């Protein structure tokens, strides 16, 4: 009997070891540049790797806590920074892929892991002995001979411990853990519901007359979508933006425009199994309770303490500075669009679902320009190469496509990024087309961040995701001007990750304050439509003809068209975010009433709907932008001012480009953002450049 038990024990042990060997996360990735081996990673590998990663990190933390030596920067801060490599490895791959190609099994894992991971992180941040070691080093920091980056790491870790509850008593620590776990589950559920809402609506058209006004490419795309869904001989439109926006821009059928628009703005608010009102009300209330526990009046006070804005009142003051001129401009645009409606012999009042349609008509009337004139010159591959060329001319870097590197989806493309001298910088994935398994919008992620702790150079593996117009009717992907800007924007984030030159993972790449991180992406948008740059990439997809000067001139003249609308719908979302997160009482609010009061307070006009209504506001209830959605326009002040440094010299001035790379892109979060900015620009940014750019001055 003993022999049998021993045999079973050994067999179980060997089986466990075999499973570990089969799990690619448990060994170094045997791939070019150690990118994830996507062809070998299976869904069943994630959970064991998460659990093993947490267990290993716990052991690493215990070793630090039980170190009998006096706490030093090396044996405490650098030691903490070195923990959790397996957990970081599996987390990075899982969460990138859960955003870009999820499925039911992935979502199940996300829900299962969320509370466990939350508890694991709390156990580290609330570890009293670990905190005391960090505190001991922090209290003598002025006597230590630390580099700027080391000092920043020490200060950030110390503040993180305090901000995560290290100074709380045991009862409050227990409650904090409960709150964090609840929030972790609710935010995952919120995001899943939005994804399902994006995918479930379809507007099936079976009468050809209902396609009136739509460009042929849009009709062809809708026919292909119908065929994929087995609606032979029909046309399908969805609320994914590459499908919805052209419909809103061109469809002459006002009732159908209203139908698809209302489907979009009612996501998560249909009183069914995907309704998000209860989820977000709970998230907002729990965030207030957590902030109060930690000694802050509101969640916004808690978040902004680490941002450039510092305080909620600074954000509100900044938003109000721009809101008044933007709202005035939008009201003028309403008047123009209403006049166009009247000239056509209609007597209806302009509604939100009419805006895109009549704005497109007005743009054509005022500037002899519409989106379909531009699309043939915006072949996706050409635009991407245009962004690469800008980076090459600015920084000398090269993007070389690699066919021998694993990729996670057939839509993805893989590029090795090199310095001018051929030395390796990193790997860059692009994944630009929508699919049911991908969340909406566009974003940058890291499969692996750059670092060089203990002298070991870790090269970054970066991704750009988008939901751009797909190839249709035998034509290549021809994207809109807005999608062109989005591609350049996300590429800017990509460069921030790729060109990072930091020692510590905690500070590298895009690990900067939320209202600074968008500056590095938005500045790239400035190059997209510069005439010199357009002539580099905007070539007709059939003839190869460079975009004519006439079109460039029209594009330039129309650059401030509709900016009232664009600014107001975005800024309304900024106010909504701030209003949710300046609540000071941990009370679940009626979502519809709260949002209506928020929009009434700023005087949002009925012709414009806030860009993200609360039940599908992923940025703040499922992403990392709570109390930070204002960051895009805050950073636009920085990027508009920073781009002037190039305009004052030349578009590709090498000295300016090198300074921007060295002082902004390479430095990550190693110093205060304003210190970095002033080192590049020589002074703090001025808001005038933004007002001029948007025509708000």
Contact between 483 and 468 (Cβ < 8 Å): yes
Q: Which of 493, 464, 491 is nearest to 668 (CA)?
A: 493
Q: Which of 461, 451, 456 is nearest to 416 (CA)?
A: 461
What sign for the dihedral angle of Cα 208, 214, 216, 222? negative
Answer left, alpha or beta for residue 33, where phi above 0 means left and psi between -120 and 50 means alpha: left
Q: Is 530 a catalytic residue?
A: no
**Which residues in 172-215 belong to E strands, given as ranges?**
203-205
CA-to-CA distance for 38 and 100, rounded, in angstroms? 13
What sign for the dihedral angle of Cα 95, 96, 102, 105? negative
| Options 490, 525, 569, 607, the catalytic residue | 490
Q: Look-up: residue for tokens 């790449």? A: 509
Contact between 638 and 516 (Cβ < 8 Å): yes
CA-to-CA distance for 277 and 282, rounded, in angstroms? 9
Q: Look-up: residue for tokens 């636009």? A: 636
The dihedrals phi and psi of 131, each to the nearest 5 degrees, come to -60, -40
CA-to-CA distance for 414 and 380, rounded, in angstroms? 15
Helix crossing, 241-250 with 355-367: angle to 10°? 60
CA-to-CA distance for 441 and 617, rounded, in angstroms? 12
DSSP annotation string for 19-58 = HHHHSGGGS---SGGG---TTT--HHHHHHHHHHHHHHHH
Catalytic residues: 490
């Amino acid at each position: 009997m003993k022999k049998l038990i021993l045999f079973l024990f050994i067999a179980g042990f060997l089986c466990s070891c075999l499973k570990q060997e089969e799990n690619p996360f448990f060994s170094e990735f045997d791939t070019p540049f150690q990118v994830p081996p996507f062809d070998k990673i299976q869904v069943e590998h994630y959970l064991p790797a998460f659990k093993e990663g947490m267990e290993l990190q716990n052991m690493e933390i215990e070793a630090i806590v039980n170190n009998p030596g006096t706490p030093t920067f090396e044996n405490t801060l650098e030691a903490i920074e070195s923990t959790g490599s397996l957990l970081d490895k599996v987390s990075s791959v899982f969460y990138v892929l859960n955003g870009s190609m999820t499925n039911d099994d992935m979502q199940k894992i996300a829900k299962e892991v969320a509370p466990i991971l939350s508890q694991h992180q709390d156990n580290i941040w609330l570890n009293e002995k670990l905190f005391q070691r960090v505190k001991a080093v922090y209290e003598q920091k002025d006597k230590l001979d630390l580099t700027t980056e080391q000092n920043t790491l020490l200060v950030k870790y110390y503040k993180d411990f305090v901000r995560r509850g290290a100074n709380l008593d045991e009862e409050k620590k227990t409650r904090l853990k409960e709150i964090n776990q609840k929030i972790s589950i609710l935010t995952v559920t919120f995001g899943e519901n939005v994804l399902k809402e994006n995918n479930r609506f379809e507007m099936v058209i079976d009468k050809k007359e209902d396609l009136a006004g739509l460009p042929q490419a849009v009709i062809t795309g809708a026919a292909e979508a119908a065929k994929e869904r087995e609606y032979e001989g029909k046309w399908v439109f969805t609320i994914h933006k590459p499908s919805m926006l052209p419909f809103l821009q061109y469809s002459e059928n006002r009732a159908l425009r209203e139908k698809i628009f209302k489907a979009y703005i009612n996501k998560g608010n249909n009183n069914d199994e995907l309704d998000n009102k209860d989820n977000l009300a709970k998230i907002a209330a729990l965030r207030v309770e957590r902030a109060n526990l930690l000694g802050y009046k509101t969640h916004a006070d808690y978040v902004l303490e680490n941002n450039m804005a510092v305080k909620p009142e600074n954000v509100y003051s900044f938003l109000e500075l721009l809101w008044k001129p933007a709202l005035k401009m939008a009201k003028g645009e309403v008047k123009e669009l209403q006049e166009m409606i009247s000239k056509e012999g209609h007597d209806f009042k302009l509604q939100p679902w009419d805006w895109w349609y009549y704005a497109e008509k007005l743009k054509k009337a005022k500037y002899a320009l519409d989106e379909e004139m531009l699309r043939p010159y915006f072949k996706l591959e050409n635009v991407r190469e245009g962004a690469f060329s800008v980076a090459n001319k600015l920084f000398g870097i090269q993007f070389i496509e690699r066919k021998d590197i694993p990729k996670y989806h057939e839509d993805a493309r893989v590029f090795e990024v090199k310095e001018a001298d051929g030395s390796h910088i990193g790997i860059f994935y692009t994944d630009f087309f929508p699919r049911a398994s991908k969340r909406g919008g566009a974003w940058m992620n890291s499969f692996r961040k750059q670092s060089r702790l203990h002298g070991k150079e870790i090269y970054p593996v970066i991704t750009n995701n988008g939901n751009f117009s797909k190839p249709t009717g035998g034509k290549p992907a021809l994207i809109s001007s807005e999608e062109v800007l989005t591609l350049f924007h996300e590429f800017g984030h990509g460069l921030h990750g790729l060109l990072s030159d930091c020692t510590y993972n905690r500070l590298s790449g895009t690990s900067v304050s939320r209202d600074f991180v968008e500056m590095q992406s938005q500045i790239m948008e400035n190059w997209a439509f510069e005439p010199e740059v357009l002539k580099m990439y905007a070539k007709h997809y059939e003839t190869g003809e460079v975009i004519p000067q006439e079109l460039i001139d029209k594009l330039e003249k129309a650059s401030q068209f509709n900016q009232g609308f664009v600014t107001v719908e975005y800024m309304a979302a900024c106010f909504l975010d701030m209003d949710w997160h300046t609540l000071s009482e941990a009370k679940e609010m009626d979502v519809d009433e709260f949002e209506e009061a928020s929009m009434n307070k700023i005087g949002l006009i009925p012709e414009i709907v806030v860009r993200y209504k609360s039940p599908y506001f992923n940025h703040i209830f499922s992403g990392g932008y709570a109390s930070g959605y204002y960051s895009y326009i805050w950073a636009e002040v920085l990027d508009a001012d920073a781009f002037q440094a190039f305009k004052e010299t030349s578009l590709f001035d090498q000295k300016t480009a090198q300074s921007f790379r060295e002082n902004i892109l390479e430095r990550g979060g190693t110093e205060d953002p304003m210190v970095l900015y002033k080192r590049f620009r020589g002074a703090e940014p001025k808001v005038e450049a933004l007002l001029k750019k948007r025509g708000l001055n």
